[in-house]
Amino acid sequence: MRRLRRFYQAFFLALFIVAFALTSQGLLKGYPVTVFLDSSALNAIGTLLSARNMAYTMWIGLLILALTPFLGRFFCGWICPLGTLFHIASRLLRPRKVAERIRQNLRHPAQVCKYLLLIALLLSAGFGFMQVGLFDPIALLTRTATALASPGMRAGWLLIALFTVLLLLNAWRPRFWCRYICPLGALLGTASRLMPGGIVRDKEKCTDCGLCNRDCIGACSPNSCTRMTECFVCWNCIEDCPEKALSWQWMPETGQLDRETGVSRRAFFGATAGGVATAIALRTQAIEGYPERIRPPGALAEPDFLDRCLKCGECMKVCPTGVLRPALAEAGVSGLWTPVMDMERGYCEYNCVLCAQVCPSGAIERLTIAEKTGQPVKTGTAFVDRSRCLPWSFGRNCVVCEEVCPVSPKAIYTDTIHMEIDGKVVALHRPWVDPDRCTGCGLCQHECPVNDLAAIRVTAAGESRAPGGSFFLR
């Protein structure tokens, strides 16, 4: 059984890596791109609670949740690519002494923390403060892989440092993330309480040697009364027992299995209050105006976008120009790590809709190139800063912004004036922006030759996703 489990773990980890690589190169589109994110029941339920609906592709996560009461936490032990990476790290960092390994795998009271985090996240989502994606294991792995593949990614070093710490913590407790933090594991663990079978100990055969704990992935205490909410159904304990005192039984006698999560009533109400209070306090920021918060084309209206966005980084991964980066302060606390466009780094390619094709939750609507360019979809509007523009303030000709504007007819046009400069009459071509034609792609800002701060800049004003398409910010 151990070899079979390792095969499946290696297979799904390799599948994730291959899918990530192909998607990054633009060779994979549609459902195969999001299949791992869709397999998270946490993402599905969080989106349902926050947006009151979900992408149809997320059914696979609900299917895994439905199978968990019959198969246990098989996703954690056999499929999850992040869990597999932490499993590998745990084996590489584990102590040599068997006694120390047994001690590390004893059940710890702090394992209840993941259930409290789950409660807070789901209640926050129910009140419109969607932060499930920050703690979802598949989204976390996708973000980290994107940061590794994009060295210039904003705050990417922070993700890599966090992931490194999580890897090193496996030296203290094997699969630290899975045991103490992972809210998806807590959700599946809660569902596994209904499992009709489990690992049962024969007290007459057991010699209390503790070897069953040596390689116990979930620290579920098979040496006493197996806690099914923590069991990863790896069956290591059954294989390691020298006395064959452990076995899998369907419908065991009452008291032979522990089906509790360990969450006390006080802890439950504390997590509930924390989740609701956080949602109420921070959700209001979503409706505030942030001029620098320029969303990808096809993004839903801001409240709906925040209700759905998983912060997974898939859109940033496939962006060919690198214009998408994670938001920090410019989108408020509720928008942390959601995608925004940074025209200093890139621009929105006029004939590209890759970000819309890979979004797993529907936060970015599926668009065709014809829909994007025909309507057109506006992500914002460009404004000329006359105090920095070469023709307007410095008497030097420059038509870069007009030349690169991809819209036809162009959204940037010039008028010509004649001025006497250094005793010579010079024809200056001053740029203007037609806000009705501008799509906010940012190519003009990206190519502007003015150093430090471009003389033409895009803000979110006039974005087509705003209610009524209003040009004015509040």
pLDDT at 474: 44
CA-wise closest residue to 439 among 315, 244, 298: 298
Asked, for residue 66, whether it belongs to a domain, the answer is yes
Q: Are residues 409 and 368 in the same domain?
A: no
Six token digits for residue 269: 């109400």
Q: Are residues 414 and 319 in the same domain?
A: no
SS3 459: strand
pLDDT at 80: 97
Give me the residues paired with residue 246 across strands: 201
Q: Are residues 190 and 308 in the same domain?
A: no
Look at residues 349, 376, 403 and tell me which one is the last residue of a structural domain. Answer: 376
Rounded distance, CA 186 to CA 386, Å?
Answer: 56
Q: Are residues 320 and 433 in the same domain?
A: no
448 burial via Cβ count (<10 Å: 0-12, 13-18, 19+): buried
Look at residues 337, 360, 376 and tell me which one is the last residue of a structural domain. Answer: 376
423 burial via Cβ count (<10 Å: 0-12, 13-18, 19+): exposed
Give me the residues paired with residue 426 across strands: 419
Asked, for residue 290, whether it belongs to a domain, the answer is no
What is the separation, in whole angstroms, between the first and last Cα of the chain? 61
Six token digits for residue 327: 């938001």
Look at residues 376, 397, 421 and tell me which one is the last residue of a structural domain. Answer: 376
Rounded distance, CA 392 to CA 404, Å?
Answer: 19
The total of structural domains in the chain comes to 3
Give the single-character DSSP code of 75. Answer: I
Six token digits for residue 163: 């992931």
Q: Are residues 18 and 129 in the same domain?
A: yes
Give the single-character DSSP code of 468. Answer: G
Please provide the DSSP assignment of 193-256 as one string: GG-SEEEEE-TTT-----GGGTT-SS---TTSS-BTTT-----HHHHH-TT--EEEEESPPTTS
Per-residue confidence in pLDDT tens, the chain, 474 aa = 889 999 999 999 999 999 999 988 877 777 788 899 999 999 999 999 999 888 888 999 999 999 999 999 999 999 999 999 999 999 999 988 999 989 998 889 999 999 999 999 999 999 888 999 999 999 999 999 999 988 778 788 899 999 999 999 999 999 999 999 999 999 999 999 999 888 999 988 999 898 999 999 988 888 888 898 999 999 999 999 999 999 988 888 877 788 888 899 999 999 999 888 888 877 655 555 566 789 999 999 988 999 999 999 999 999 999 999 999 878 888 888 999 999 999 999 999 999 999 999 999 999 899 999 887 899 999 999 999 999 999 989 999 999 999 999 999 999 999 888 777 888 899 999 999 999 999 999 999 999 889 999 999 988 988 765 555 544
User: What amino acid occupies position 231?
Assistant: C
Measured CA angle at 114 (ends 113, 116), to 5 deg: 65
CA-wise closest residue to 48 among 58, 34, 39: 58
Asked, for residue 283, whether it belongs to a domain, the answer is no
User: What amino acid occupies position 201?
Assistant: R
Domain that holds residue 431: 381-459
Measured CA angle at 77 (ends 31, 221), to 5 deg: 155
CA-wise closest residue to 330 among 157, 142, 156, 460: 460
Asked, for residue 454, whether it belongs to a domain, the answer is yes
pLDDT at 471: 53
Q: Are residues 228 and 92 in the same domain?
A: yes
SS3 329: coil
pLDDT at 137: 97
Q: Are 322 and 152 in contact (CB under 8 A)?
A: yes
Q: Is 257 left (phi over 0), alpha (psi -120 to 50) or beta?
A: beta
Asked, for residue 228, whether it belongs to a domain, the answer is yes
Q: Are residues 388 and 402 in the same domain?
A: yes
User: What amino acid occupies position 247?
Assistant: S
408 burial via Cβ count (<10 Å: 0-12, 13-18, 19+): exposed
CA-wise closest residue to 336 among 276, 277, 280, 286: 286
Asked, for residue 439, whether it belongs to a domain, the answer is yes
Q: Are residues 422 and 450 in the same domain?
A: yes
Q: Are residues 338 and 357 in the same domain?
A: yes
Asked, for residue 402, whether it belongs to a domain, the answer is yes
Cis omega before residue 376 (within 30°)? yes
Q: Are residues 321 and 180 in the same domain?
A: no
pLDDT at 473: 45
Asked, for residue 11, whether it belongs to a domain, the answer is yes
Q: Are residues 302 and 238 in the same domain?
A: no
SS3 382: strand
CA-wise closest residue to 221 among 196, 257, 170, 171: 257
Q: Which CATH number do you get for residue 369?
A: 3.30.70.20
Phi then psi for residue 333, to 5 deg, are -65, -40
Q: Are residues 359 and 392 in the same domain?
A: no
